[in-house]
Amino acid sequence: MDSLFLTCNNSDKKAFESLINQTAKAITDAFSAPTAYSGPVPAELKQIVRKETILPEKGLGWEKVFKSLKEEVLPNLLRTPSCDYMAHLHGPSLLETLASELIISAFNQSMDSWDQSPVATEIEEETIRHLCALYGYKEGSDGVFTSGGSQSNQTAIILARDWFCNNILNYDVKKYGINEQCSKLRMYTSEISHFSMEKSAHILGLGYQAVVKVPVDSRKKMDVNALKELIEQDKKAGNIPFLIVGTVGTTDFGSIDPLQELSEIACANNMWLHADAAYGSGVIMSDKYSCRVSALNLCDSITVDFHKMFVMPISCSAVLIKNKEDFSALTIHADYLNREEDEEDGYTNLVDKSLQTTRRFDALKVWVSFQVRGKDGWSKIINTSMENALYFYNCLKADSDFEVLTEPEISSVVFRINGSDELNKMIRRKLIHEHGIVIGQTCSDGKTFLKFTLLNGLITHEKLDEIKALIKTLAQKFENA
């Protein structure tokens, strides 16, 4: 390949168009089957992709490498838009967001300073303004795009810690770092919350000891009375409660913690309330079910993931905060990047509120898809996912061969077929490698459960019925073997 980059030269433009068209054709050809996976086990995949070297003395050229891609890689990638893929909070990507990804990659903006991303900066700022309004935040709120829910949660926990230390403890942790008093800080989250809580506490120097896991009730929601007791116990022990994290859509069950009650407890104890709504943030788009997450506006910060219910390409997340002044915890100026005089003249440098420096223009996917689909289109996407989950739950509940846990609040269904843990594990493996169907697996109450995470709006009730029947067939064969 003679061309290096896409430039204004006609030869480079033609080379780019040819490469993109060729690649698009190969991708569509790889969607040759409706299943989610072609079947190879790990050992087989290792053999398929093994090379003597990936850095030859002389380049092989695009055509030879592309042939390898078409024959070895594309057929074995997960086809996440397949109706047979329902394992995780990871789904298909809307067509307009795939087009947006091409623009993002081709122009390669870096979202740290205005002079690296002029119009991209303004679009991210505009998108954040509308997102804040969507979740009920008023003027004075703000946000920033991140790499995913873990980073959004970590950002919120940093802001909560610094806010609490500055305003409640009268201590500048940004300037002086962690002291003995900070080692007593405690944050409270559901016992089934995301592991990014512990990871963030470790990174912040607070340690796992700072994360107090609160029991859940029979519907997998945080037990408010248990939370109150744990806060009081910590106060008596000399510890310092500073943060409550409510989960709006737990990873396995999609359960939603009671934000109204959590807000009252946080206010009574001068604590920050963060909502990890990485999963459930999409519910706000529903004309039927948005009331389930309407209390998000009570939280001091919100994690929103667009590569989950919003069915956009990875990665795309944001953290929103009620008071934009709290972003000062992350602001530091450098003459080579975010000069104060530029900002005084209206040049926004988004690095001032981001853990990342170099960062992708992910806001474009949201900006485009919101306008393309509109409220009606988005409501249909979200409603379909949620109603599919309720349908499947009711089907399983009515069948004595299955055990189901909680009624879904969003779009996850956790269940098992009656029998041993080995039976349920075997079924998941058989579905993947023999039928190309990828579903999830988890544990609850010491038992192995299977899980459907229904993000794909193309899934029908008939498809769910078919997979349920297949699971029963596999179980019968296993028991009769």
Asked if the model's pLDDT at residue 110 lies above 60, the reply is yes
The token pair that represents 82 in the structure block:
């397949």
Sheet strand arrangement including 185-190: 142-146, 317-321, 301-305, 272-277, 240-247, 185-190, 211-214
Tens digits of residue pLDDT in 307-337: 999 999 999 999 999 999 999 998 876 555 5
Average pLDDT (53-62) is 95
H or E segment and range at residue 52:
none
Average pLDDT (440-454) is 96
CA angle 206, 210, 214 (to 5 degrees): 155
CA angle 268, 274, 279 (to 5 degrees): 140
Distance CA 288, CA 370 (A): 18
Q: Which has the closest alpha carbon to 254: 224, 276, 223?
A: 276
- Percentage of the chain exceeding pLDDT 70: 98
Distance CA 406, CA 216 (A): 12
73 DSSP assignment: I
Tens digits of residue pLDDT in 63-80: 999 999 999 999 999 999
Q: What is the pLDDT of residue 167?
A: 95
* 462 or 181, greater pLDDT: 462
334 CB neighbour count, 10 Å cutoff: 11
Which residues lie below 8 Å from residue 135, measured CB to CB, with a gap of 6+?
281, 284, 296, 297, 302, 304, 320
The token pair that represents 335 in the structure block:
């003459």
